[in-house]
């Protein structure tokens, strides 16, 4: 047995060890080297907020499986939705055919998203939802006989996905995609918002962005931004007045506004959509991650009637995109079940409870010598440390402490499932407090 396997392998049977060995040698995990891979932990099962590892440990999921598992694992209503739909049909092509789960989902999304978003394009993943949004914006202006409006304006520290158009609007330095820079679309970047969510609004925060709108509006198709919370680009939480000013600039200069709510949508920030903090509606919105409650991959891009009709009456006569698994019935069925759970409005109290625990127990970690900042909004808690984490070591330590937390760079953050109770959230926070005192979990400066 390889000595590079995690210690959990020592407690496993031969079959489980073989799985991990093959995984280490042949299965490429996200943002992981194949020549020197980070350890992977073999999952046996998951239920509620707990992930049970094959080696016997039971850990509380502090990540909601990358921000997607809203209602917990193995949820009976979501399970039943999948089973019921699979007994009818699991998939049909969406070209020329339609089905009730997709229609019901589209109806619900139109009902709950910010006003004016009446046309729904279903796709496979969040990155694709962004690709669709950018293509919509560019095709919209082409259909209005303004093909010169093809640039995308955004802000630094943003993250919108790993596909090519999405990469082109991620932070050019910190967006994980620098090596692709020579072949990406050349888009426009304004400074990231500076004023924090709870700070006094400083109107100078928007000045450079306003200048870019004024100088380049003739060739800008759209402005894209993650509302209120910049996710994988730095877990930064900015002031709602900044977002409101962005909407006003888009209106003033006749530029489409795209809200990337893939990470923030469906309650995570304490509002159903983060745009609600600024009381704005975008022209296009991107949804994903939580859409199916973390069960299956599904995304949606919604736009206004004006955008859809302009594209449809343009040169092509249709929108030029069509994924094979568009509107997958299984995914739509479980998404409908997940949205039905949300519509009970229990999420509001659940998120408020998590936020209260964060404010009481996570915010005090700001006084730790290893901590630069602590940020909290809704069911999002972020601890920014002074040194980069040592991923393999800190991951192992978290598992020993009964927590599944996966930091990146200098950010240790938790976004637990909404069903997490005070005791479970406290365990996650205590685990963070413990690792802050462990020098082995951090890279020396």
pLDDT of residue 1: 38
The residues, ordered by sequence, that sit 6+ positions from 225 with a Cβ below 8 Å of its Cβ are: 154, 155, 158, 243, 246, 257, 258, 259, 260
Residues 33-36: contacts with CB within 8 Å, 24+ apart? none
Mean pLDDT in each 10-residue stretch from start to end of the chain (445 residues)? 49 86 95 92 98 96 97 98 98 97 98 98 97 97 97 96 92 76 91 97 97 98 98 94 98 98 98 98 97 97 98 93 96 98 95 98 98 98 97 97 96 98 98 97 85
Instruction: Identify the active-site residue in 289, 396, 410, 413.
Output: 289
Active site residue 413: no
Active site residue 373: no
Instruction: Identify the active-site residue in 61, 162, 205, 260.
Output: 260
Q: Does domain 41-74+346-441 have CATH number 3.90.1150.10?
A: yes
pLDDT of residue 10: 54
**pLDDT digit string, tens, across residues 301-348:** 999 999 999 999 999 999 999 999 999 999 999 999 999 999 998 999
Instruction: Identify the active-site residue in 31, 202, 251, 279.
Output: 31
Q: Fold for domain 78-343?
A: 3.40.640
CATH 3.40.640.10 location in the chain:
78-343
**pLDDT digit string, tens, across residues 12-33:** 688 999 999 999 999 999 989 9
pLDDT of residue 270: 98
Instruction: Identify the active-site residue in 73, 159, 242, 295.
Output: 159
Token pair listed for 95:
């070209």
Query: Does the pTM exceed 0.75?
Result: yes
pLDDT of residue 2: 43
Cα dihedral: 274, 269, 72, 331 (round 10): 10
The residue whose two tokens read 């995609």 is 177
CB-based contact 319:136 (threshold 8 Å): yes
**Which pairing describes strands 229-230 and 236-237: parallel, antiparallel, or unpaired?**
antiparallel
CATH 3.90.1150.10 location in the chain:
41-74+346-441
Give the separation between CA 216 and CA 204, rounded to whole angstroms: 19
Give the separation between CA 101 and CA 277, rounded to whole angstroms: 30
Active site residue 279: no
Q: CA-based Rg of the chain, rounded to a whole angstrom?
A: 22
**Which pairing describes strands 236-237 and 188-190: parallel, antiparallel, or unpaired?**
unpaired
Active site residue 289: yes
pLDDT of residue 445: 65
């Amino acid at each position: 047995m390889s000595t590079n396997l995690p210690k959990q392998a020592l407690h496993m049977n031969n079959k489980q060890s073989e799985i991990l060995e093959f995984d280490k040698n042949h299965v490429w995990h996200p943002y992981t080297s194949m020549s020197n891979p980070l350890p992977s932990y073999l999952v046996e099962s998951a239920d509620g907020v707990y992930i049970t590892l094959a080696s016997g440990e039971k850990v509380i999921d502090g990540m909601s499986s990358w921000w997607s598992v809203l209602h917990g694992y193995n949820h009976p209503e979501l399970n039943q939705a999948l089973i019921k739909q699979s007994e009818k049909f699991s998939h049909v092509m969406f070209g020329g055919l339609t089905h009730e789960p997709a229609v019901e989902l589209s109806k619900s999304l139109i009902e709950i998203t910010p006003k004016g978003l009446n046309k729904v394009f279903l796709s496979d993943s969040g990155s694709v939802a962004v690709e669709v949004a950018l293509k919509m914006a560019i095709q919209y202006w082409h259909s209005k006989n303004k093909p010169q409006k093809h640039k995308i304006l955004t802000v630094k520290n943003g993250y919108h996905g790993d596909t090519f158009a999405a990469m082109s609007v991620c932070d050019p330095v910190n967006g994980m995609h620098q090596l692709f820079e020579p072949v990406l679309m050349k888009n426009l970047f304004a400074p990231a918002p500076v004023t924090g969510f709870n700070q006094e609004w400083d109107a100078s925060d928007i000045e450079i962005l306003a200048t870019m709108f004024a100088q380049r509006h003739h060739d800008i198709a759209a402005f894209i931004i993650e509302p209120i919370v910049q996710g994988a680009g730095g877990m930064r939480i900015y002031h709602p007045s900044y977002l409101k000013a962005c909407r006003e600039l888009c209106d003033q200069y006749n530029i489409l506004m795209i809200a990337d709510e893939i990470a923030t949508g469906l309650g995570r920030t304490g509002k159903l959509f983060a745009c609600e903090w600024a009381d704005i509606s975008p022209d296009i919105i991107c949804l994903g991650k939580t859409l199916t409650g973390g069960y299956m991959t599904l995304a949606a891009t919604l736009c206004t009637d004006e955008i859809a009709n302009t594209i449809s009456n343009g040169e092509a006569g249709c929108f030029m995109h069509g994924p094979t698994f568009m509107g997958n019935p299984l995914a739509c069925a479980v998404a409908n079940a997940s949205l039905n759970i949300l519509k009970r409005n229990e999420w509001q109290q659940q998120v408020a409870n998590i936020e209260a625990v964060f404010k009481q127990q996570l915010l005090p970690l700001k006084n730790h010598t290893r901590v630069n900042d602590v940020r909290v909004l809704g069911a999002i808690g972020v601890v920014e440390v002074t040194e980069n984490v040592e991923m393999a070591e800190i991951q192992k330590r978290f598992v020993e402490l009964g927590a599944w937390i996966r930091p990146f760079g200098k950010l240790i953050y938790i976004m637990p499932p909404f069903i997490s109770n005070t005791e479970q959230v406290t365990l996650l926070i205590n685990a963070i407090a413990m690792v802050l005192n462990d020098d082995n979990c951090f890279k020396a400066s």
